[in-house]
Structure 1
Amino acid sequence: MPSNIRIKRLCAYCGKEFEARTTVTQTCGNQCAKLAYNARKKAVKIDGSHRQTKARTDIKAIDTIKSKEFLTVHDAATLLNSSRQTIYNLIQAETIPAVNISVKKTLIRRSAIDHIFTGQPVIPMAPIKQIDTTPLEECYTLQEVQQKYVISDKTLYDLIRRNAIPKQYKGRYAYVAKTHIDELLAGSSTH
């Protein structure tokens, strides 16, 4: 079924004015459509080439940074693949020694960056959450613990976190083993 729509448009390729028969027509004819398609394909290839060149340039920049004895904050951030603020935080925490040459010029010795990885102890990973497998009949809900021992929810959460008491979940309720809670709070019971 032919369309009765007639819209004045400018060709996306040659720029000439033409009369389009649909709302999505971009070019004045088949020849301009083919040329526009080829131009888009060429642009994609050129963009890919630019990305490869930039990646190679970044590798060369890192090699250049590695060969320097003194690094700026920006160089150190590039070398550690982090932000400049992270480097400033490490300087402030005295993890990395640095010298202010002038108001806006901070230099870091390259060997100090290397020392971070060889001289610092490894920070242990956070413990993995424990999941309790105690049957639910032998567990309290958190609300039951609050009512039995008359403590606030913040206090209860802090005690559970501080003593690494494992929780288990069923639906929207969290459960803790009665044995763990009774051991921990037996002395403070008001009953």
Structure 2
Amino acid sequence: MSGERKGSKMSTSNIRIKKICAWCGNEFEAQKSTTQYCSKRCAEHAYKDRKRQEKKQRVETYEVRRVETSKNDALKDKQYLTVIEAAQLLNRTRYGIYKLIYRGTLKAYRLSSQWTVIKKSDIEAMIEARPYERKPKTTETVSDENGEAVTEFYTTKEIIEKFRVSNSWVFALGKAHNIPKVYHRGKTLWSKAHCDRVFTAKPEPPKEYDWISYSEVRAEYNLTHDQLHNYVKYHGLRRKKVGKYTYVLRSEIDAILRPPTR
């Protein structure tokens, strides 16, 4: 019995696996499938090379961070930034900064067709106007004016598609009529009953004093014509033209450009 076991053990240990050395590239025979090197010398060379690469990576990472830090330190002393510099400061892409500008979240100044500047104070104002607020969990409920729980909701997108209104108008009417809302997975959900009542009601036609001209908006919010045009187009705002002047509704433009109050 012992002889059989011994013979079995010896036959297992005598198995040879042909492999290629991960360091020198020569073919060798290994006893284990996990063996990577043909000799101790090759294993030591590979270990030293691995340590050199790790050190090189640490140095390169440190240098990249040092350069980024020096760039950010230089930007901190500048009052006016380009779009690329603003992207570096906020750790965003250039496209992401333009998206903030077109949405009206970040104010910018277009001095020419290829020259846009952003005040650092406007970046700080944008951040200050939007403090993080804990949104209610999906398990939390919302009640209407009578204290009854609201159970049916519309998403903002559903309201826009059903009632053919703009995104800014949804939030403007929601604020004006205090429509109950909750938040779910990054989306705003509005009380279905309240939306049906508010958005299906035939609105009164805007009065003459409800409209504000492009030039008045530009002066009040310090915008260029192109910036204002982008806001109107992006948010689908209502507008009218009288002669050579273009007007928008003050309530809609204020809903976009006026920062939220705490």
Determine whether 1:158 maps to 2:153: yes
Q: Which has the higher contact order (CA 8 A, sep 6+)?
A: 2
CA distance in 2 between partners of 1:75 and 1:3 (Å):
66
Q: Aligned-pair distance for 1:76?
A: 0.5
Q: Which amino acid is 2:66 matched to?
A: R
Look up the match of 1:46: 56
Q: Aligned-pair distance for 1:84?
A: 2.6
Say which SS state the counterpart of residue 91 (structure 1) adopts. Answer: helix
Please point out which of 98, 122, 125 is paired with 1:112.
Answer: 122
Check 1:121–1:8 CA distance in 2 against 1; reply closer, same or farther (3 A cut): closer
Look up the match of 2:112: 101
CA distance in 2 between partners of 1:122 and 1:23 (Å):
58
1:19-78 deviation digits (Å, cap 9, x = unpaired): 232443322211110111121122112212221222111110111222334322221112
**Is the 1:73–1:84 Cα contact (8 Å) retained in structure 2?**
yes
**Is the 1:91–1:98 Cα contact (8 Å) retained in structure 2?**
no
**Is the 2:84–2:94 Cα contact (8 Å) retained in structure 1?**
yes
1:153-181 deviation digits (Å, cap 9, x = unpaired): xx95218xx5469xxxxxxxxxxxxxxxx
Check 1:30–1:121 CA distance in 2 against 1; reply closer, same or farther (3 A cut): closer
Look up the match of 1:173: none
Work out the number of aligned pairs and report it.
137
TM-score, normalised by the number of residues in structure 1 = 0.56
Look up the match of 1:128: 136
Say which SS state the counterpart of residue 58 (structure 2) adopts. Answer: helix
CA distance in 1 between partners of 2:97 and 2:13 (Å):
65
Give identity over the alignment, percent. Answer: 28
Q: Give unpaired runs (5+ residues) of structure 2.
A: 1-11, 142-149, 155-178, 183-193, 195-262
Check 1:93–1:50 CA distance in 2 against 1; reply closer, same or farther (3 A cut): same
Taking only aligned residues, the RMSD between alpha carbons, in angstroms, comes to 3.3
Look up the match of 1:29: 39
